[in-house]
Structure 1
Amino acid sequence: MLELDAINAGYGRAQILRDVSLTVAPGEILCLLGRNGAGKTTTMKAIMGLLPLMSGAVRFKGEPISDLPAHRIPGLGIGYVPQGRRLFGELTVAQNLEIGLMVRRAGRDTLEDVLGLFPRLRERMQQRADTLSGGEQQMLAMARALCLEPELLLMDEPTEGLQPSMIEAIRQVVVLMRDRGTGILLVEQRVDAVLSIADRVAFIENGRNVDTLDASALRADHSLIERHLGV
C-alpha cells in the first residue's frame, strides 16, 4: 500500500533522512520508533508532501506521489494526524469535521460512523475546538482524519501528554481501523504503547531506518529494544 524507496529529505541544506525505505500493508500497524530527533516526524512530513524529497520515491498503491502538491495527498485516501493536532481552533467541532468530509466528498454516513467511534465529540459539536481538553482535541484530530475514509492513516505521537483513559480510547480506535483494513503508520515514543498494538516496528536512528522487526519478537525479547534505544 505505502512504499518508501530510499527517500532522502531535510530542511534547506540540512539533510535529515538518509535512504529511508519502509512499507505499510493494508490492515497493518507499522510503528516508527527512535530517539528524539531521529527523523520520525520528518518521515511523516515527507510522505505527506510537506517536505520535498532530495531523492528517492514515495508510492501509494503502486503509484508515485512524491511530486504531488501537499494538498492533493489527502484526496488519495491518506489521513494525517500531525504532532500538535493542528486543528482550526476558532472553528467548532462540527466545522473541523466538515473540512475532513469535504476532502473526499464523504457524507452523513461517514460522519455518523466517525462520531460512533468518538461519542464524546457528538456532545460537543457546537463547541470551539480550542476550548476542548487535550484528549478531546486529539480525538477531534483523529476524527477529522477519519472523515476522509482513509485507506492509509499516519499518526504522529497521538497519545503524547494524555491521561490513561484517553490513551486507551485512542488505542481502541487505532486497532479497530487496522481490523477494518486501514494501513497505519504510527510514530510513538511510549514503548509499552507500541508493543500493545504494533504488527511491526521500524527503528530509525540518525535519519536511517536501521531495522524492522515483528512486534512479537520485541515482546518476547526486550533486549532488542534496548539495543536500538538504550532503554
Structure 2
Amino acid sequence: MLKLEAVNAGYGRAQVLRDVSFEAQAGEITCLLGRNGAGKTTTMKAIMGVLPLMSGAVRLEKTVLSDLPAHVVPRHGVGYVPQGRRLFGDLTVGQNLEVGRFSQRESESTLEEILQLFPRLRERYAQRANTLSGGEQQMLAMGRALSLRPSVVLLDEPTEGLQPSMIVAIRDVTETLRDQGVAVVLVEQRVEAILALADRAALLENGRMRGVVSGEALRDDPTILARHLGV
C-alpha cells in the first residue's frame, strides 16, 4: 500500500500541496482528480522524490520513500509514467526498455511479459522512439516503467492526445495491472475513463485534499466529477 501522510510540497517558496493525505491499495486504481493547477502532477513528483517534501511522509509498506533519493525510489517498486512520456528519442524501443531493466534481475522474462502486453512494441523493437506514433510512445513509456516489476504505478494523463484505439489499449493494460495486484495511481481528465476505471478517487482542490470517494459513488453521482473537474 502506498500512503501519503500530510504531505506539504512546492517549488522554492511557492507551496503547492498542503497536508495531502490518501492511500493507494494493491489491486485498485486510485484516480487523482482535480482541475488544472490543483496539484496532481506535483503530487506525482512528490511521491517519486523528484520534488522534496517540506513536511509529511510518503510510505510504501514499511519503507519511507520520502527519506530516499529520487533515483532510489523506483528500486523499491514504484513505476512512473510522467505526462509527456520523456523517452530517449534517439534510442530504439529495445534500448529504451533496456534502460528500464538495468536493476531488474529477471530481465529477459520481464521483457517478454512487456512485449506480450504491448505487441506493437515487439513490431517496433528496432525502431527509434522519436519515430513512433503518440500512442506507441505512450506504450513504450508504460513498458519502460513496468520493466521494474513495480508494485505501484503512477500514470499521469496516459491517454492525453491519443486516438480512440490507443486509448482502449492503454485502458486495457491499466486494468490488467490492477488485476495483477498492482496499485495504480491515475491522473486522468477524461470523464468516461474515470467512470470506467476508478475503484476510488482522491479529490484535490487548490493543493488540498477534499475527500476520497469510491468508484461506485462517482458512477452514482456524476455531479462529483462536475464539481472537481469543471465539466
Fold shared by both chains (TM-score > 0.5): yes
- Structure 1, unaligned runs of 5 or more: none
Matches within 5 A, 1:116-127: 116-127=116-127
Q: Is the 8 A contact 2:35 2:230 kept in 1?
A: no
Consecutive unaligned residues of structure 2, counting only runs of 5 or more, are none
Q: Could you tell me the TM-score, scaled by structure 1's length? A: 0.98
Aligned to 1:18: 18
CA distance in 2 between partners of 1:70 and 1:18 (Å) = 21
3-state SS in 2 of match to 1:103? coil
Q: Give matches, 1:55-70, under 5 Å.
A: 55-70=55-70
Report the residue type matching 2:101 in the other structure.
L
Q: Secondary structure at the match of 2:213?
A: strand
Deviation at 1:62, TM superposition (A): 2.5
Q: CA deviation at 1:193?
A: 0.6
**Distance apart, 1:128 and its partner CA:** 0.5
- Return the alpha-carbon distance in structure 1 between the equivalents of residues 58 and 104 of structure 2: 21
Q: Give the RMSD, CA atoms, in angstroms.
A: 0.9
Matched with 1:132 is 132
- Return the alpha-carbon distance in structure 1 between the equivalents of residues 132 and 224 of structure 2: 39
The question of whether the paired residues in 1 share the 8 Å contact of 2:2 and 2:25 is answered with: yes
Identity %: 66
Equivalent-residue separation in structure 1 for 2:99 and 2:134 (angstroms): 20
C-alpha distance in structure 2 between counterparts of 1:105 and 1:99, whole Å: 13
Q: Which amino acid letter does the alignment assign opposite residue 151 of structure 1?
A: S
1:225 and 2:212 matched: no
Shift, 1:228, TM fit: 2.7
- List, as ranges, runs of 4+ consecutive aligned residues in structure 1 with deviation greater than 3 Å: none
Alignment partner of 1:38: what SS? Answer: coil
User: Does residue 1:43 correspond to 2:49, yes or no?
Assistant: no
Q: Secondary structure at the match of 2:181?
A: coil
1:106 counterpart letter in structure 2: E
Between 1:98-107 and 1:160-169, the stretch displaced more is: 98-107
Q: 1:123/1:230 Cα in 2 relative to 1: closer, same or farther (>3 Å)?
A: closer
Alignment length (residue pairs): 231
User: Aligned to 2:114, what secondary structure does the other structure show?
Assistant: helix
Shift of 1:102: 1.0
- Check the 8 A contact 1:38/1:206 in 2, yes or no: yes
Shift of 1:224: 2.0
Equivalent residue of 1:73, what SS? Answer: helix
